[in-house]
């Protein structure tokens, strides 16, 4: 079956612009995670959904970051007033039990 | 809090050499342990996992054993191939919460023919 998909794959934004990153999880997966991966580093947790409920947002770096999953399937990560330090690859993962399956990521570059 | 420390790279080996990438962790409770691999231009893929102490995960010739006494999950392969060139990440899942993953910094492996 289809894996996790993310769009866009690449996004270039000017500092101060808002961006929206989309994640389509594997069908039927209850859990959805967002991670941020800086260059040369491992992914770092941002937020977690179980169905439509956002149960953990402890990793969001500032109140400029907002995520939603209104119908318990597709999720959107929004970053307002982007800053250069937001440049990273944003990864989405979904899971049914323990194992998380990752999408290809969205590479965000803020100029 | 939880943390993962893995061997720094880059690591360069000749084809058919023996591979070890060290990984140790700090966690409360009994996390599940994972190795993920990122091939050039691709996303993270699960390589293997172990969910309890003394379990051995294996896949594609790679193995790792969950050692609670040494809090380690070292990745090994007996004979590497050029196609194994990738970045390898060790990770653990939080057993007390939502299973969010804590990753190491990654080890870049290059195999030369």
CA distance B82 to chain A (A): 21
Pair type for strands A44-50 and A31-37 = antiparallel
For chain B, give the percent of residues with pLDDT over 90: 84
A25: contact with B, CB 8 A cutoff? no
Cβ proximity of B109 and B84 under 8 Å: yes
For B66-98, b where at least 16 C-beta lie within 10 A, e where not — what string?
A: beeeebbbbbebeebeeebbbbbbbbbbbeeeb
Mean confidence (pLDDT) of chain A: 95
B103 and A43 within 8 Å at the Cβ level: the answer is: yes
A42 and B99 within 8 Å at the Cβ level: the answer is: no
| Helices and strands, counts by H and E, chain B | 0, 12
B40: contact with A, CB 8 A cutoff? no
**What value does the mean pLDDT take over residues A38-61?**
95
Measured distance CA(B89)–CA(B5) in Å, rounded: 10
CA distance A17 to chain B (A): 26
pLDDT band at A93 (very low <50, low <70, confident <90, very high): very high
The encoded tokens of residue A37 equal 């991966």
A45 and B49 within 8 Å at the Cβ level: the answer is: no
SS3 A88: strand
Determine the pLDDT at residue B9.
84
pLDDT per residue as tens digits for the range A94-111:
998 888 999 999 999 999
Mean confidence (pLDDT) of chain B: 94
Which A residues in the span 60-89 are in contact with B, Cβ-Cβ below 8 Å? none
A104 and B43 within 8 Å at the Cβ level: the answer is: yes
A101 CB neighbours in chain B (<8 A) are 46
B55 CB neighbours in chain A (<8 A) are none
Measured distance CA(B97)–CA(B10) in Å, rounded: 33
B16: contact with A, CB 8 A cutoff? no
Lowest mean pLDDT among A1-5, A8-12, B62-66: A1-5
Lowest mean pLDDT among A32-46, A71-85, B90-104: B90-104
Name the phi and psi angles at B82, rounded to 5.
-55, -35
pLDDT band at B40 (very low <50, low <70, confident <90, very high): confident
**What value does the mean pLDDT take over residues A26-53?**
95
Nearest to A76 by CA among A37, A16, A32, A15: A32
CA distance A58 to chain B (A): 11
Name the phi and psi angles at A27, rounded to 5.
-55, 130
């Amino acid at each position: 079956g289809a894996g996790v998909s993310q769009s866009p794959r690449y996004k270039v934004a000017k500092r101060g612009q808002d961006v929206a990153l989309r994640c389509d999880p594997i069908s039927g997966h209850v859990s959805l995670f967002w991670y941020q991966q800086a260059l040369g580093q491992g992914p770092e947790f941002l937020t977690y959904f179980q169905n439509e409920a956002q149960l953990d947002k402890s990793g969001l770096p500032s109140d400029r970051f907002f995520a939603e999953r209104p119908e318990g399937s597709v999720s959107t990560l929004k970053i307002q007033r982007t800053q250069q330090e937001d440049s990273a690859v944003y990864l989405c993962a979904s899971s049914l039990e323990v194992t998380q399956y990752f999408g290809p990521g969205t590479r965000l570059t803020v100029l | 809090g939880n943390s993962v420390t893995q061997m720094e790279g880059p690591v360069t080996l000749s084809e058919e050499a023996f591979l070890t990438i060290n990984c140790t962790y700090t966690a409360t409770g009994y996390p599940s342990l994972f190795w993920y691999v990122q091939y050039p231009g691709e996303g993270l893929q699960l390589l293997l996992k172990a969910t309890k102490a003394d379990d051995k995960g294996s896949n594609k010739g790679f193995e790792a054993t969950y050692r609670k006494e040494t809090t380690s999950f070292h990745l090994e392969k007996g004979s590497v191939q050029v196609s194994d060139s990738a970045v390898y990440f060790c990770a653990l899942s939080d057993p007390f919460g939502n299973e969010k993953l804590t990753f190491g910094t990654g080890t870049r492996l290059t195999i030369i023919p």
